[in-house]
Amino acid sequence: MTMSSVGRPTQPQAAEGSAGHASLTGARALLQDEPLLFELGGWDKTGVDLPQAEFDASDLGDLVRAAPIGLPGLSEPETLRHYVRLSQKNHAIDLALYPLGSCTMKHNPRLNEKMARLPGFADLHPLAPAATAQGALALMDRLAHWLKTLTGMPAVAMSPKAGAHGELCGLLCIRAAHEAAGQGHRRRVLVPTSAHGTNPATAAFVGYSVQEIAQTTDGRVDLADLEAKLGPDVAAIMVTNPNTCGLFERDIVEIARVAHAHGAYFYCDGANFNAIVGRVRPGDLGVDAMHINLHKTFSTPHGGGGPGAGPVVLSDALAPFAPAPWVVHGSEGLSLAEHDTGFGRMTAFHGQMGMFVRAYAYMRSHGADGLRQVAEDAVLNANYIKARLSAAMTPAFPDGPCMHEALFDDSWLEGTGVTTLDFAKAMIDEGFHPMTMYFPLVVHGAMLIEPTETESRRELDRFCDALLALAQVAKAGDVQRFKGAPYLAPLRRLDETLAARKPKLAWRPEPTTVAPAPLAAE
């Protein structure tokens, strides 16, 4: 190994192929090993050529930098290559099916990218006078109209920047509505056991206590348990539909009715809207607030930390408590209402404009009928996977079809010595990103597979063939293929607990290195 491993979670191992052949450099064929930029050094080099600045240091007083800034020096091609090589080590929806359940990793149409790069959208400053931004305001207004129409809801708060941020917005609206009605004592929120972790986390963040609702053996909300737990101190229920087991909540209308009968609001986690868009309007089901992950259902790119967008649709009861801003039509054209309704704002400015443009382009290019087809094809693809993989793997809820994701448990691995984690790691060697693992928590060793509608039959078959072949090997007793996996990835199996508990967030020079100024504290 020529490169030092400072800042890496584990030592990169020699690049060993399936035949046990290791390269001398750590490369794998044309994929080179890549050090951190800081490991390259070159502190006195720079990729740009600027005239020496003349400035008067006296303005800065003792704040003037005393030590060199300590940035590694790279030429333009070195910089480009660094980032391109890093991107080659990462997985992307542009490379293969990305089966992460609950995440809706669908193709990002290039038309959306083209629209988002139009200078009128891309170069617009958020403080530009409304008169100069009529097109952008019109786009926000049209997108809001589509979101309200598709959900059957009268209002939408556009500014939240992720699903979880939308949850926060929705619960803050609910809290404001209860307080305005003299119901501020309602401080309990009911959440099903299978909920995404953001649901209880959001409720706790708002200052509410969280109580779990039990699940029936067929993976739905236990209505009797819900009714028993409702009471005069319950502020809201938070229910995902379709739920995180990939199942439609059959009793959803009744769930809404009993919640309302007890004076609670119905927050719906809309992350799985992709399964029902164009077919079911959540407003018709009795939902009071629901976030929509534009980066899931409406194809805007995500993963690797963002950006997302999580507009929240609101019922008539909650609409008066929506945060600013929103678009208003006046005699002078469109403008933004910025006045405070008592709630304040969720964020500076108006939300994720780039994501708005992409989502709107997606809606317009699909049309209403095309969006309905999205939901139908997403469900069809998931059921195709469920049917094919059931030949070797055990579906968690075998009875009836699933919605947009197929959920398996690990009972089919019993006695093989292979765990869900091992199986997922072996998938990497076969060219596939693992599915969501160990979520939802209600299913033992869960494997949650969401293909989305953008996968063709051929791609689905390639994926299923790979998993079925792996399953066969696991059952035949080749445990080592799984325990040591991934063998062929740039980095082998990582100590994930250590990485989570003690992340190395900053590079530190090794004692022997000629050190630049130390970086900010970890």
Ligand X SMILES: *Cc1c(COP(=O)(O)O)cnc(C)c1O
Binding site for ligand X (CB under 6 A): 102, 162-164, 196, 198, 240, 244, 269, 271, 293, 308, 310
CB 185, CB 234: distance < 8 Å: no
Which two three-digit tokens encode residue 179? 């307080």
Strands 312-314, 188-192: parallel, antiparallel or unpaired by DSSP?
A: unpaired
Minimum distance of ligand X from residue 161's CB (angstroms): 8
Q: Which residues contact 450 (CB under 8 A, 6 or more apart)?
A: 99, 100, 101, 102, 103, 104, 105, 246, 382, 404, 405, 406, 435, 436
Q: Of 389, 388, 363, 433, whose CA–CA distance to 105 is shortest? A: 433
Q: Which is nearer to ligand X, 106 or 481 (CB)?
A: 106
Q: Look-up: residue for tokens 């769930």?
A: 255
Nearest residue (CB) to ligand X, 170 versus 310: 310
Q: What does each C-alpha distance from 156 to 136, 149, 173, 319, 334 come to in angstroms?
A: 17, 10, 12, 8, 17
Smallest distance, ligand X to C-beta of residue 38, A: 30
Distance of closest approach, residue 160 Cβ to ligand X, in angstroms: 9
Q: How far is the CB of 167 from ligand X (least distance, A)?
A: 7
Cβ at position 202, least distance to ligand X in Å: 9
Taking the least distance from each CB to ligand X, the nearer of 169 and 467 is: 169
Taking the least distance from each CB to ligand X, the nearer of 308 and 354 is: 308
Smallest distance from the beta carbon of 436 to ligand X, in angstroms?
Answer: 9
8 A C-beta contact, residue 33 and residue 22: no
Look at residue 281 and give its three-state secondary structure: coil
State which residue, 112 or 272, has the beta carbon closest to ligand X.
272
> CA end-to-end span of the chain, whole Å?
27
The Cα–Cα gap between 232 and 142 comes to: 39
Closest to ligand X by CB, 262 vs 291, is 291
Nearer to ligand X by Cβ, of 153 and 268: the residue is 268
The residue ranges of DSSP E strands in 101-233, in sequence order, are 155-157, 188-192, 209-213
DSSP letter at 412 equals: G
User: Rounded to the nearest whole angstrom, what is the least distance from the CB of residue 249 to ligand X in the complex?
Assistant: 13
Structure tokens at 300: 């805007």
Residue 70, CA distances (Å) to 61, 79, 255, 503, 509 in order: 21, 16, 59, 22, 11
CB of 439 to ligand X, least distance (A): 9
Closest separation between CB of residue 269 and ligand X, Å?
5
DSSP assignment of 283-315: HHHT-SEEE--HHHHT-----TT------EEE-
Which one, 150 or 245, has the nearer CB to ligand X? 245
Beta-carbon contacts of residue 106 (< 8 Å; ≥ 6 apart): 93, 274, 296, 299, 452, 453, 454
Smaller CB separation from ligand X, 102 or 381: 102
CB of 267 to ligand X, least distance (A): 11
Question: Cβ-closest residue to ligand X?
Answer: 163
Residue 331's CB: how many other CB atoms inside 10 A?
4
CB of 353 to ligand X, least distance (A): 17
- Closer to ligand X by CB, 161 or 188: give it: 161
Torsion angle of alpha carbons 115, 120, 121, 127, nearest 10°?
180
Nearer to ligand X, 102 or 159 (CB): 102
What DSSP letter does each residue of 378-393 carry, written as one string? HHHHHHHHHHHHTTTS
